[in-house]
Structure 1
């Protein structure tokens, strides 16, 4: 009976003896989501660097057709990819909902509907502030030989290409900002990490899973992570970050689809 009472007193996220197991939880979440992407990204840049072709003469493709000869099946692949991309978001929201003694889930990261207009406007401002300098940074890194050429959209010529690319952009925005900012900031603070260390860790993780693009992709996303992390610390709301990231990816995916056939500098 005493053991049952003692066990019942142990809250979610706390091991026997009151020792938090959130550190292990963070590792599991990352292993199932963007941490896994970071590992594959490191392997990808090693593979690219060991080719005879210089880095800036290589092309990194994204959002490619799975079955280009069967558009209906390709559409199913693309929709499934976006669906499973956001599955870790449901996991972290559930884990934060179990957070004892504090606001959990949506409220823990400001992912609610209290300020929709303000969140959208803030997201638009962030996207504008990041978008143009980000494109310039990418072009400079490529010219310096630090980055591959990135082809963000490579679907076949089908009617559903643009809606699917928009959906993929939103899925990326939700996944990255909820997991790497909302969840990671919350959990690492639960573990007693300082805000500065949390900010740097989040930015470095963000940069690491973009290494597959090259060192420019890594550095640019670290800088973006620092900016978005500071914005989150100021507002404590993830929605503006999700809006900004989604808009940036829509611009990259759809913009590339529409513009790339007509220019040579991309």
Structure 2
């Protein structure tokens, strides 16, 4: 890769068709909208995660002595548990839908952020995105666990029911849709409209992603911060969200379903 192309990748210019808001009322409204949306979604999750990390560190054994389960049963009654799991997924898809609507409402088409028709190249890039983040992420987790700065993360603690695996797949896609459309597509687009530089909006998006994973420990926070930098830059360069959604969903599906099926063989990760 030549120096000029590398420079454009590291320091991309904002798209010319994303108009920077100049009207003071529109700018204030955009600021208020971003704050409210984040407080209702991942911003509040970030604050809660920071408190969880502090709480864990103040307990005996620190965060390294804690266990965190990502998918847990919500009821002892099988049918009620299933409904609650699906409602959780619906909420995440609704967050993605809200983010998409607000992007469109701001005057930017969903085509502009790569949420139009799924392309064959989106799938290919999604697989690459999963590999680029998934394998190094697993290595970072193992290192963080050995250093005692990350909790023992249990991807699935659901009881062994007939619907467990399908629900885990749905959960993986719901998480991916909500995070990538809101944390990357929505936030980066709205910050562009407020005149933020590309690197500044990239860091803001990545820090937000890392913050709401801090309940897992420092490893979870740092790993997702790096994921946010890679995924955010990809979006800034390509204006495609589908590869990020697919890549994220593949990572979570492998983690959730793989752990559920091979839990006894994965004790070395604890």
Q: TM-score, normalised by structure 1?
A: 0.89
CA contact (8 A) 1:65 1:154 kept: yes
2:29 is equivalent to residue 26 of structure 1: no
CA distance in 2, matches of 1:19, 1:40: 28
Q: Taking CA–CA contacts closer than 8 Å with sequence separation of 6 or more, which of the two structures ends up with the larger relative contact order?
A: 2
In structure 2, what is the equivalent of residue 110 of structure 1?
114
Q: Residues 17 and 225 (structure 1 numbering): CA distance in 2 closer, same or farther, change over 3 Å?
A: closer
Equivalent residue number for residue 38 of structure 1: 46
Which of 197, 200, 210 is matched with 2:200 structurally?
197
TM-superposed CA distance for 1:234, in Å, is 1.6
Structure-1 separation of matches of 2:33 and 2:232: 21
Distance 1:75 1:192, change over 3 A: same
Q: 1: CA distance between counterparts of 2:262 and 2:23?
A: 54
Separation in 2 of the partners of 1:234 and 1:263?
37
SS at match of 2:61: coil
Cα 1:18/1:246, change in 2 over 3 Å: closer
Name the structure 1 match of 2:94.
87
Picking from 218, 227, 230, the partner of 1:224 is 227
8 A Cα contact 1:14 1:20, kept in partner: no
- Deviation for aligned residue 1:57: 2.0
Out of 147, 155, 159, the residue aligned to residue 156 of structure 1 is 159
Give how far 1:110 is off.
1.0
Contact 2:27 2:194 in 1 (8 A): no
Change (3 A) 1:87 1:162: same
Structure 1 residue 19: Cα displacement: 4.6
Give the direction of change, closer, same or farther, for the CA distance of 1:236–1:16 in structure 2 (3 Å limit): closer
Kindly tell me: are residues 109 and 64 of structure 1, through their superposed partners in 2, closer, same or farther at Cα, counting changes over 3 Å? same
Cα distance in structure 2, aligned partners of 1:35 and 1:255: 29
Secondary structure of residue in 1 paired with 2:59: coil
Displacement of 1:15 in angstroms is: 7.4
**Large movers: runs of 4+ above 4 Å:** 13-20
Write out per-residue CA displacement over residues 162-204 of structure 1, whole angstroms, 9 at most, x where no aligned residue. Answer: 0000000000000000001000110000001000000011000
Shift of 1:17: 5.4
What is the root-mean-square deviation of aligned Cα atoms in Å? 1.6
Question: Conserved in 2, the CA contact under 8 Å of 1:32 and 1:88?
Answer: no
Q: Tell whether the 8 Å contact from 1:29 to 1:88 is kept in structure 2 after alignment.
A: no
Aligned positions, number? 249
Query: 1:229 Cα deviation (Å)?
Result: 1.0
Q: Structure 1: which 5+ residue stretches go unaligned? A: 1-12
**Number of the residue aligned with 2:82:** 75
1:173 aligns with 2:176: yes
